[in-house]
Every structure is written in C-alpha cells, then in structure tokens.
Structure 1
Amino acid sequence: MNQFVSVFDNNQFNAGFNPIDMVQTDDGSYIVLAEEKVTDTTEIPNIYLLKADKYGNFVKELEIGDSLINPVGHLTVVENKLYFFCMVSVVKANGKDARLASFDSNLDGFKTTNLNGITYPAAASYAGNQFVLLSYNIDDKLSVISTISAAGAVTKSKGYTVGEGDDSEEPILNHFLRTDKIFPFDVGLVAGGVYYFNGFYNYTFSLVFTNISDDEPMGIVAGYNDKGGFSAITPLSASKYAAARFNFGNNYLLPNTTITATSNATSTDANFKGYSLPELIPDTKVKILRATAKEKNILIYGADTQTRQIGLYFYNEADGTFMSSRYLGFSNPYQIGCMIATEDGGLAVCGTTYLAGRFPRICIFKLSKEEVASNVK
C-alpha cells in the first residue's frame, strides 16, 4: 500500500503516548520508539515500543515498565539491532544513570548497557560508526558530549558548564521531570570532525561546536536564556545548515543558512532571521528531513499548527526556496513526533493524536512517492 493513515488505540484509559522516533525495517515494517505516560503514577515517561507492518497494521507492542524512563532518539539500526538511550528510573537506585538499550526488529532480546557514570541523556545521533550523546552532569553542572560504541564503551567525553547556581539547572531538571518546557536538545557531527550540541551552555540554550577535547568550545551561537535558540538543526555541509529557531514563542524556519563553527554569534543575528510562520503554535517542535523527489534534493519541515494539524513545508535544498505546504490531520488534534523517508520514495510521519480530544495515541501518516512529488515545484 502506497499510502495510509493509522491510529493505534490502547486499552489503558489513563495512558498517553508520545512518539520519539521511527525506523522502517527491511520488510517495510515500522518500529516506533515512544514515551508512555501513565497519569496516576508519574509524569516522567516510561518506554514504549510499537511495531506496525508495511500497511500500517498493528503487529506488536513492548512496554518496558517503570524501571527505565526517558527514551532518547534517534532510534538507530546497527547490524540488525536497534538502539536508543534511556535512563534508570528516578525511583530506583542510581536513578539518574544513562543506559544504551538494544533489541531486534521483532521487539525481542531487549537489553541495556551501563554507560560508566553518564547521567541524564538528552539527545543522541549516530555518525562515524559510533553514537554521539549529549547528557547532563547534575553534580558538576555540565552539558556533556560523548562518543560511544555500540558495545557501550565511552571513547571520548567532555563537559561544558551550564552555569553556577540553582537557576542554571532548574530548566534542565524540569525538562527531565516534564514539569515545564521541553527543550529541543540535539547533538551530532559535521564535516571536518567537528561536533555540535544544542543545549545549555553558560546559562543559555545555545548551539555549541567542539572537538570533544579542548576545555573551551570552538564556537557558540547563543540563544536567549531558555526563551530563545535553535529548535532544529540539520547539517547540509561543513558550514551550510537547515535550521529552525524559537524566540519568545515565535518560530522561524531557516532552510539555507550559514553557521561558522569557529566563531561566536547569537541566534537573533540578522543572518538567522529566517521565515516567520504565525500559523505555528508558540515554540513548536520542529522536525527536518532531507529527501529526494523529482530528482531534486529537498527539505521537509514538520511542525504543529494553530489548527492542531501537522504542517509540512517543502523547500529546495540547493537554495532554500519555498515549494509548497500541506497539512495532515482531521477531526481530532494532531502533533508531530518524527518523519522518515520510506523505501518506496514516500514519506512517513509519526505523531500523536487525541482520540475524543483527550486520549493521546500514536498515529502514522504514510504518503506515497507521488504525493511527495506533487509538493515539489
């Protein structure tokens, strides 16, 4: 089937689901990594895994329980195993400790590996045959960037101050406790062996570049305390990026912007002005996907709209020109979780919908290759 819309109901009246990431397996099936919140127990999310077949039909689910919490994408496939990061429940001993979790495409063989003192994982990616992890050290008040093997060995690690005093760590801990703003933490590798993380540095939510060696960052694009910064960042080359930023509730899309890793700037500088979209909800979650359609390299932005739909915005990667937009969702409210390009040249968007306006459930929109191409001008 080239296209479908699936909503996955659940018999737990008091449970809600928020997808983090999704991958497509070799047989065309979809595996979703999600948070599960059970409202009468804790607001800190447990881990939930869902498998659907290539037609969007439910196959299997796996609920990890309350011993592990806070699943962190990306969900990554390495040698037929799937990996993601999480942490031990705060109600257990050593509740802040991070774990690398793995399982197979049938949701079997789930296990975790201790990461030798790394705590509070916030974001992860996979580059250069290793994981790159952003975490938070609560004792020393550091944003920590690390490289980690699939076996769980920490090969490099470096911490950078978030600032002294309780005020510096309050928004970070509230993020993990889910009691206030959820921040768009991110981490990765760009050309030339330069790493970056989108997180807190020196009291401010900032984009920080580092070689994971020197005591000081190579360069910084500072936001404004916890009220402004980048909401998404995708490297296109050594200095070109597709990005989005937030600033006191306003949202700006930057499909073709230059960021120099070795200089300092602020996210409100003129060259980061971007396109303002008032139709988006304040400080919306933004996802960016690089894809190909009609023999063109394109960028697809996904975000949440004021009408409670998922907005998709198509840009030409070469020059950042806008192509078209389309909207997913009907009847019930919808929120974006993640997007992937599918093996048949289409697009799959995973999100949350609210059945009867109140029960958060996982949904998948599958767009055909032809539907994606119709948005490319």
Structure 2
Amino acid sequence: MRYFYFILLCAFAWGCANDADPEADKASFTRIYDNNKFGSVIYPIDIKQTSDGGYLILGGRKLTTSNFSGIYLLKTDALGAYVEEQELDEDLVAPIGPLMLLNDGYYFFCMTSVGLQTQLIRVNLNGTIDSQVSVGNSYPAAAAQEGNNFLLLSYNNVDKQSVISVVTPAGAVQTSKAFSIGAGDAVEEPIINHFLRTGRQLPFLVGRIPGGLFYFNGFFNYTLSLSFTNLAADEPQGILQGQQDDGGISQAVPLDGGKFALARFNFGDNYFLPAATINSSGISSSVDLGGNVLPELVPNAAVKILRTTINGRQVVLYGSDTNGKQIVILGYDEATGSLVGSKYLGFSNPYELAAILPTSDGGLAVCGRTYVAGRFGRICLFKLSSQEVESAFKGF
C-alpha cells in the first residue's frame, strides 16, 4: 500500500504548526509528498484549488510499459495533507496542463499509448475520472481555456504540422488550422524528444488575445515561433520568430492595451519583459525585444507568469528556477513594468517550479518538484499567506 509523509518547513517566525489556530495552518505551509516506491519518478504539471479548500495536482509518472509518461493525480486537504491519489490506466499517457475548471469538473488533455490519439479527460475534485472522450489529434502539446471551450495545440507527426484547435467539452473540434513545421528530421527531433522527455521541455503555448487573434508558441517554418492566427487564413497574421529551438518565447500572457507579459530565451540566456509590445500582424524577431536579463536563472529556464492583484495593485508574477536550485518569484507592476518584489522558495533539497496559483484567501500556492536525498523526484507544495504575499511584493 502506498503511503505518504509530509514535511513541514515553516519560517522561523511561525515555528511549528499552530494547533490552536487551524486557519493559520491553512494559510502558510510547505509539503513534500514522498512514497515507499523506491524507483518511482513523479513530476507535477499543474495545480488547482478545489471547492473544499484543498488542492488537486496533475502530474506525470514514469512508466515501464511506455516511453511516454503516465498520468498521476494527487488530492490534498486545505492543510496540504494527503487525501488520495490516482494513477490512471497506462493506456493513457503524455498528460499536459493546465487543469481547466468548467461546470464543476477539471479537464485536461492526454493521448493514448496505442495510436497516439488525443483524449480529453474530465475528473472530479478527488481526481477520479468522470469522462473520457477522443479528440482525434495526435501529440497534444499545450492547452488553454477559452470561455466554455478549450484551445489545443498539437503536433501532427504524419504531416509534420503544428495544429491549433478549438475543442468543446464533448471533445468535438469546432475549428482548427494547421501550419507546417518545415521538412526534415532536424526540425522534428526536438519535438519528439520533448514528448518522450529525453530532451529539453519546450515552451509550447496556446491562447487568445481577448476578443482578437489566437496565438501559439510552437514550430512554424523550421523555427520555434510565437504565431498569431485567425484560424482561417493559411498563413499566420503575425510571427515573432525565434532561432530554431535555441531562442524564442518561453512564456506569454496577454495584458490590457495590446501588451504582453513575456519571457524569452536565447542560447541559454533568459529575459523578462513585463510590458512588451508585439506586432501581431507582421514578422519580427524575439531577439529584437531586449528585456531584463536574469543571470541567476538556469539556462533556457521554464517560466510561469501569473496576472494577479496584490494589495489593490495589478501585479505580474514571474516564476522560474535558479542556478542555486531554488524557486524564485519576481513581481512587476503591470502598469509600469517596475519590479515590486521577490520571493525565494526551497532550501536543502533542489527545487523546480511547475505552477503558481492564486488562492481563495488572497495567498499563493506554488507547486513544484523537489528531490528527496538529491535523487528521488517528488511533488512539493508551498502555500503562502496573503500577508506573506503582500510583504514580498509591496514595492520599493
């Protein structure tokens, strides 16, 4: 039987968990979820807070029966304590985030291990499957919620195309458009390595400018590019080109006024642009954007961006991984782009970021992976109280 233990790493000012104040225990904690399967490899993908105040974490797990990752779901209570886990059947592989909440269900995409056909999975707040429908596309790469539908970026390995689709909760494809990645194995190799997790995890993205064009960060014409499309024309309306898979956009979130919060990478270097202007109707290069260089981050770092409100101020939070094996969160004023604070998480063990989530109490939940004894990959969860968040990002 699988068992879990929880390690509570509180700040010195708080000391141990306060038995007399359970609300304080819910507001701020750190958990590491370990188990007794010596060789198990688990990694987090996304997290959502559930209606009972707890958390549902989507993850992947290493399989012995497939080169792709299996699906793992973990449910906790409001204190971050383990409630239950689900290891989905091994005929479902390669899960992607985010978990998307619609009509009291949590949706995510994956694919079948045989046939590589994309599936849309709906689970309840405990991670138990409510429904599974086939979408038909192969190799799901990125997803997003668009009203009552979902956006899906997938890779068609037969025709060598990046495909962006609008998918209903029933799994029907309302509309889609495909774009060639370019001919040759050299273009496809990093894509397949991404799905097999034998190479660098590429920053695939999909979304929509509110009321405007759709966008995807994927391969187009030999290069990892941020492309804008109306899903009708055969060519993108705008292209922000990278440099094959050595440079490009690592995260993009639309802001008001036609601007974007961007992160980009270029041959190992990382740059943040809290209020970037992009030409969505022309061709440009990500190198020309400039940005704030972040030498403390790991090369070609994965980045998460969250728009949120902290103490009445619109703030853009950037989360990533440092060379010191910590998770760092940097906050920028959305209106001015100026830095308003930072927060570093994790010590002793190496830590890597998976997702940042605003919580119902005004705090933050930060989900990531740590390595127990330096080698066993396990899911970790940091819960920051509203007071901790306000203190960290109050400005200078």
The answer, yes or no, to whether TM exceeds 0.5 is yes
Asked if 1 retains the 8 angstrom alpha-carbon contact of 2:223 and 2:243, the reply is yes
Q: Larger strand proportion, structure 1 or 2?
A: 1
Q: Which amino acid letter does the alignment assign opposite residue 5 of structure 1?
A: T
Structure 2 partner of 1:37: 62
SS at match of 1:374: helix
SS at match of 2:69: strand
Higher relative contact order (CA 8 A, sep 6+): 1
Asked if 1 retains the 8 angstrom alpha-carbon contact of 2:362 and 2:385, the reply is yes
Where do 5+ consecutive residues of structure 2 fail to align? Answer: 1-25
SS at match of 1:171: helix
The alpha-carbon deviation at position 286 of structure 1 amounts to: 0.4
CA distance, structure 2, for counterparts of residue 303 and residue 43 of structure 1: 27
The CA RMSD measured in Å over matched residues stands at 1.1
How many residue pairs align between the two structures? 369
Structure 1 partner of 2:22: none
The alpha-carbon deviation at position 237 of structure 1 amounts to: 2.7
Structure 2 partner of 1:49: 73
Could you tell which deviates more after superposition, 223-232 or 169-178? 169-178
Question: 1:83 aligned to 2:107?
Answer: yes
Question: 1:113 aligned to 2:141?
Answer: no
Of 117, 132, 138, the match for 1:97? 117
Of 132, 151, 162, the match for 1:132? 151
Correspondences of 1:274-293 after superposition (within 5 Å): 274-293=291-310
TM-score, normalised relative to structure 2: 0.91
Structure 1 partner of 2:34: 9
Where do 5+ consecutive residues of structure 1 fail to align? Answer: none
Asked if 1 retains the 8 angstrom alpha-carbon contact of 2:121 and 2:129, the reply is no
Of 237, 250, 256, the match for 2:275? 256
CA distance, structure 1, for counterparts of residue 373 and residue 300 of structure 2: 25
CA distance, structure 2, for counterparts of residue 212 and residue 247 of structure 1: 29
Structure 2 partner of 1:64: 88
Correspondences of 1:149-188 after superposition (within 5 Å): 149-188=168-207
The alpha-carbon deviation at position 111 of structure 1 amounts to: 3.1
**Distance change in 2, residues 1:339/1:293 (3 Å):** same
CA distance, structure 2, for counterparts of residue 215 and residue 14 of structure 1: 47
Q: Which amino acid letter does the alignment assign opposite residue 50 of structure 1?
A: L
Correspondences of 1:313-328 after superposition (within 5 Å): 313-328=330-345
**Distance change in 2, residues 1:110/1:13 (3 Å):** farther
Cα deviation, 1:34-79, whole Å, max 9, x if unaligned, reads 11114x5555211000001111100010001321111111101110
Cα deviation, 1:179-201, whole Å, max 9, x if unaligned, reads 21110100001123310000100
Q: Which amino acid letter does the alignment assign opposite residue 266 of structure 2?
A: N
CA distance, structure 1, for counterparts of residue 292 and residue 350 of structure 2: 25
Cα deviation, 1:237-284, whole Å, max 9, x if unaligned, reads 352010100110110011110112111101001xx1111111111011
CA distance, structure 1, for counterparts of residue 256 and residue 155 of structure 2: 28
The alpha-carbon deviation at position 18 of structure 1 amounts to: 1.3
Structure 2 partner of 1:228: 247
Asked if 2 retains the 8 angstrom alpha-carbon contact of 1:191 and 1:237, the reply is no
Q: Which amino acid letter does the alignment assign opposite residue 57 of structure 1?
A: A
SS at match of 2:182: coil
Structure 1 partner of 2:318: 301
